Amino acid sequence: MISRRGRPPGYPARMDPTLSRRAALSLALAAPALIAARRGDARPTEILDEAAALPQLRAIAIWQAGDEIAARGYGRFTADQPTNIKSASKSIVSALTGIAIGRGVFAGVDQPVAQILRDDLPESPDPRLGRVTVGHLLSMQAGLERKSGAAYGRWVSSPNWVRDALAAPFVAEPGGRMLYSTASTHLLSAALTRASGRSTLELARDWLGPVPGFAIAGWDRDPQGIYLGGNQMAMSTRSLLAFGALYAAGGLAGQELVIPQGWIGESWVRRTASAFTGAGYGYGWFLDRMAGRQVCYGWGYGGQMIYVAPAERGQPPVAIAVTSDPDAPSGRTGYRNQLHDLAGRLLAQL
């Protein structure tokens, strides 16, 4: 069970036992492609050696211009072992939302969420619920009281997470300041399920299936069976890298366009900023600059990171995936900043 503090004592809770077996098979099938990746570039070796001093670190994998150039596990961990990637999964929910728009499942980012989740609205809903859009949920600007941090445990202890989120009081206007909340991405997961008639996990396996090496090893669900949008998803470091490489490659997996044209750019437009770090935020991605380059990243509790530096000024695109102990904090301890420094150093050298 999920603890009231919102962190499982070990491996992610309430996961389908069949998922890990299926994911293991997917990873095995993808192994030839992973083995074929270029590994001869030794430039990051010294930095990766020094990273062993970070006690929370589990694994790092790096992709550049079409190839995996490095992968390193630390301690007893490898880059192929699943880890709870926590809120880094919000970037994956963003990708699924963009694909849903491209396929006509959603009308667009301006579609009111109340239209999709009308059966879960409170009996006397605040009129502002009708103004909350898909885009507001993606950018954490719904205006609803947060269900992350101290409120997370109470929220996931409720009998219906979707209804509890929709019944939350407004503390800002829709489209106003950023209120980082896992409830927002969970509402997106519920909306994806309602609008498509398929589970979010099924959509992820179908829509992101063409991406070599991408696999979800486990994922929590709410009491109604909705997969938890934006938390409690298990992936290996290499699988997380495969997702980041998809964005770094402009949405292409081989010759197939997986992410609709224009969605990546829309996701990386600064729409608000974190009150905690000052970093910009788009649609499920934090936005910053490192080593003189634009960097967009997903960040999960404990130090689960996917950094993407798009191609610019003749520099090739890069993706860096990092997994860490999911039960140890990363923000208030300075560990997240250490990972940012690590990513910046790698980018400067590549």
In DSSP terms, 64 is beta-bridged to 67, 318
Domain for residue 39, yes or no?
Answer: yes
Number of domains in the chain: 1
Q: Does any domain span residue 6?
A: no
The answer to whether residue 9 is domain-embedded is no
The answer to whether the CB of 270 falls within 8 A of the CB of 308 is no
Calpha distance 168→150 (Å, rounded): 15
Comparing C-alpha atoms, which of 37, 72, 22, 78 is closest to residue 52?
Answer: 72
Is the residue at 1 inside a domain?
Answer: no
Q: Is residue 10 part of a domain?
A: no
**CATH code where residue 104 lies:** 3.40.710.10
What domain range is 210 assigned to?
17-349
318-324 and 57-64 as β-strands: parallel, antiparallel, unpaired? antiparallel
Q: Would you say residue 4 lies in a domain?
A: no
Per-residue confidence in pLDDT tens, the chain, 350 aa: 333 333 333 333 444 434 444 444 343 334 333 333 343 344 699 999 999 999 999 999 999 999 999 999 999 999 999 999 999 999 999 999 999 999 999 999 999 999 999 999 999 999 999 999 999 999 999 999 999 999 999 999 999 999 999 999 999 999 999 999 999 999 999 999 999 999 999 999 999 999 999 999 999 999 999 999 999 999 999 999 999 999 999 999 999 999 999 999 999 999 999 999 999 999 999 999 999 999 999 999 999 999 999 999 999 999 999 999 999 999 999 999 999 999 999 999 99
Contact predicate 163/203, CB 8 Å: no
What is the CA angle 254-260-266, rounded to 5?
A: 125
- Output the CA–CA distances (angstroms, integers) from residue 284 to 77, 140, 339, 348, in the order listed: 28, 8, 19, 25
pTM here? 0.88
Would residue 187 count as lying in a domain? yes
In a domain, 291, yes or no: yes
